[in-house]
Amino acid sequence: AAADPGNPAQSARGKPGGRRRPDKPTAELWTELTGLVGSSGSEDGPGGAAEGRPAEVSLEEALVRLAEFLSVQLGAEESFGNSADLSKPGDVPPLLTVTGQLLALLAWIRSPRGRQVLPQATQPASGVQPPTPTGSPSQEESPSISPRGEAQGQHPPQLEEDQRAWQRLEQLILGQLEELKQQLELQEKELGQLRVGVGATDSEKRVQHLTLENKALKQSLSLTRDLLLHWGPAPANRAPQEQEEAEALLQLRGRLQEAQDTTEALRVQLGVQEVQLQGLRGALRQLQQETEENCRRELQQVRAQLAGLRARMASLRQGCGDLRGLVSTFTQSCQGSLSEARGQVSWALGALSAGGAGTQLLEAQQGPPTGCPGRLLELKGNIRVLCRLRPGTPSNLVSLEPGPGGTVTTRYRGHRRRFRLDWVFPPHASQEEVFRELESAVLSCLGGYSVCIFTYGQTGTGKTYSMEGPPEDPGIAPRALQSLFREMGTGGQHHVTLSMVEIYNEAVRDLLAPGPPQRLAVRQGPAGEGGIQVAGLTHWDVPNLESLHQMLNLGRSNRATAATAMNQHSSRSHALVTLTLRTASPSSGPGTAGTLHLVDLAGSERAWKAGAAGTSHEDRDGAQRLREARTINRSLLALGGVMAALRARRPHVPFRDSQLTRLLQPALGPGATAVLLLQVSTRPEDLGETVCSLKFAERVGRVELGPARPRRAPRSGTPSSLSTDTPLSGTPCTATPSPGSPPSPGLDSGSSSALAPPEDLPS
């Protein structure tokens, strides 16, 4: 009350009709109260005794006035709309609580027991009449709050009534105490809830509220204690009461302290929980991130595994297909071998029955070769890759280990790469050495095998040199023909035919046609029979080696060549020479039809390097070279695609992508034997293309065509040069000249005038 002396007066002034006593304004009550405080204290108090009042005021009187003041104060608060909701124990204002406690104290003082304990304290020490507390907070609750003087002057029935009222009040106060207890319990419960962990902000507010309440309670209690100390009975008489009060106070203080401690502990706990909560939130966030990350990673792994499984499944499927192919190839090979054996047996039997016993051995020796070399090749299903290095300035960027299973090592753009090939010929290797390695394959044609030898490489690396060679040092083709004719001897057991075409700017031209070369149409053979047909292609019977050389020279001269920056006599086309060797079959059994394809591919080249970059109308030659280079590269690319498909054993092989691959289809079919002679340059400026060529050759080396098997000769019709499966039929072919007759009038002279290239070909 001493802490805020101004407010009571102000609040009382604005509400004259409240519970406040009309004849005693709040200011007056306050003055009285402060006067009491001053008078009850020491003499240096704020002047109560100095105003002439008696020095002693009874405790009861003082409490009555204090209660009166507080009740007026409560009334004022209520009138300003600050009325508390008494149904909620937590909302009971401290002022009401203190007032209630004061009233309880007063009731106790006025009770018989209180009067016994405090006989003097309830009596005013002097003759001061305390004011009548008619404006007490609740007339019903405290009917007997009246000055002690009045009580003394009352009649006995009135006294009894007072006592009953006091008892009621006592019960009421006890009820209030019970309520307070309940409040405390509720607070404890709330604190418990807070402990459980309600929202941090609400909890803090609640804690602050409770702290304030505790503070107010503490203040009210200390005020009560002060009042009790000041207005209590004399030390001698007050001892038991003081002790009791002190105990009660101690209890209250203890409870207060407890509540404070609890609050403090709760606050600390809340702080800890907050920190823990923050930590948990952080951990949760981190956990979420980690989980997301893990999920993402696992998803990626699963996807990768799935992709791997798919790839594996695809490869397994492919492997299955390959296996099926191998099985069928094996079956076919067995059947082929069987029929070959049957043919040989029947041929031998026929020979035996026709001739005498003395000639048996000789004829057996002159019979169809058993094809031992071919049988050796049968075991190698792969395309064989031989590599020949062009003579030139030695470079330390290309090194080699020559011989069978040799290697070529390149150092290109800081990468060292080693390529292993079936055979590596050093730059100084002779034409003879190269052919020796191919001879067995060439001779296997006599046993009915299909053999294809093709040269591949960058322009100017010696493909034509290796295939044709100069007259003084012939290459593979002349040597092969010579070897074949030597092997065949003069027995006339074989029927040899020859055809020769070139593919220039994707046009197929007959290099041995008796007249100007015509563009020929390439078609797929009849459905189910396989193979291809070249309509109008001339097949020449070759009676002897001399005629064969003449024909080859003629075809070679008809081939399109031109001078480029890389090669003075660069072949601008792919040339295919096809030699068919049919055994003159005995009447009792079928013969064989071997085929030898000799393919001199045009060189792969970079347009700018080959000096073929001209595009202007004036530079017609340059434009022509550029066009040639483009078609050459495109067809070589198609050949690479075919090789890749064959190597991967894809069900579809893109033979139709270019004329070159279409014509090579029979030569690269199942059961055929193919040999690639790779020509490379060791010049540093050609290193890029050397590496590309070696890579291509390495890939080709992995292509499996299946075990080689001989072919049976067709019963009739024109021999098939480009399709070993099916004879050319449907479109009539050019009449085959009779054996021994020259192919054309100009053939003997070797002139190309009779078979002059068309106007669009370079002369």
Could you tell me the maximum CA-CA distance found in the chain, to the nearest angstrom? Answer: 181
646 φ, ψ (degrees, to nearest 5): -65, -40
Instruction: Report yes or no: 604 and 693 within 8 Å, Cβ to Cβ.
Output: yes
CB of 604 to ligand ATP, least distance (A): 8
CB of 683 to ligand ATP, least distance (A): 12
Crossing angle of helices 156-196 and 94-110, rounded to 10°: 140
CB closer to ligand ATP out of 19 and 572: 572
Structure tokens at 306: 């799935």
Q: Which residue has the tokens 């909890």?
A: 203
722 secondary structure, DSSP code: S
Instruction: Report yes or no: 570 and 762 within 8 Å, Cβ to Cβ.
Output: no
CB closer to ligand ATP out of 580 and 679: 679
Crossing angle of helices 59-77 and 94-110, rounded to 10°: 150
User: For residue 203, how far is the Cα from the chain centroid?
Assistant: 48
CB closer to ligand ATP out of 56 and 621: 621
Q: Which residue has the tokens 């009222």?
A: 165
CB of 466 to ligand ATP, least distance (A): 7
Identity of residue 314? A
Choose among 633, 623, 691: nearest CA to 658. Answer: 633
CB of 658 to ligand ATP, least distance (A): 17
Residues 412 and 408: their CA atoms lie apart, in Å, by: 12
Would you mind telling me the total number of residues written for the chain in this entry? 763
CB of 502 to ligand ATP, least distance (A): 12
CB closer to ligand ATP out of 60 and 605: 605
CB of 632 to ligand ATP, least distance (A): 8
CB closer to ligand ATP out of 105 and 677: 677
CB closer to ligand ATP out of 131 and 457: 457
CB of 400 to ligand ATP, least distance (A): 14
Residues 440 and 427: their CA atoms lie apart, in Å, by: 23
CB of 461 to ligand ATP, least distance (A): 5
Residues 74 and 85: their CA atoms lie apart, in Å, by: 13
CB closer to ligand ATP out of 121 and 602: 602
CB of 566 to ligand ATP, least distance (A): 6
CB closer to ligand ATP out of 462 and 474: 462
Give the CA count within 13 Å in the CB-facing half-sphere of 166: 20
DSSP 23-91: TS-HHHHHHHHHHHHHHHS-TTSSSTGGGT--S---HHHHHHHHHHHHHHHHHHHIIIII---TTSGGG
Choose among 452, 494, 499: nearest CA to 476. Answer: 452
CB closer to ligand ATP out of 344 and 553: 553
CB closer to ligand ATP out of 463 and 711: 463
Crossing angle of helices 545-558 and 476-488, rounded to 10°: 160
CB of 563 to ligand ATP, least distance (A): 10
CB closer to ligand ATP out of 285 and 569: 569
CB closer to ligand ATP out of 460 and 474: 460
3-state DSSP assignment of residue 218: helix
- By CB under 6 A, name the binding residues for ligand ATP: 390-391, 457, 459-465, 567, 569-571, 602-603, 679
Structure tokens at 456: 């591949």
Instruction: Report yes or no: 41 and 108 within 8 Å, Cβ to Cβ.
Output: no
CB of 390 to ligand ATP, least distance (A): 5
CB closer to ligand ATP out of 106 and 562: 562
CB closer to ligand ATP out of 533 and 693: 693
Instruction: Report yes or no: 210 and 218 within 8 Å, Cβ to Cβ.
Output: no
CB of 391 to ligand ATP, least distance (A): 5
CB closer to ligand ATP out of 466 and 497: 466
DSSP 163-185: HHHHHHHHHHHHHHHHHHHHHHH
CB of 472 to ligand ATP, least distance (A): 11
The kind and range of the H/E element at 622 are helix 620-647
Choose among 514, 498, 534, 517: nearest CA to 659. Answer: 534
3-state DSSP assignment of residue 670: coil
CB of 445 to ligand ATP, least distance (A): 24
Burial label for 75, CB within 10 Å (0-12, 13-18, 19+), is: buried
CB of 463 to ligand ATP, least distance (A): 4
762 φ, ψ (degrees, to nearest 5): -70, 135
3-state DSSP assignment of residue 519: strand
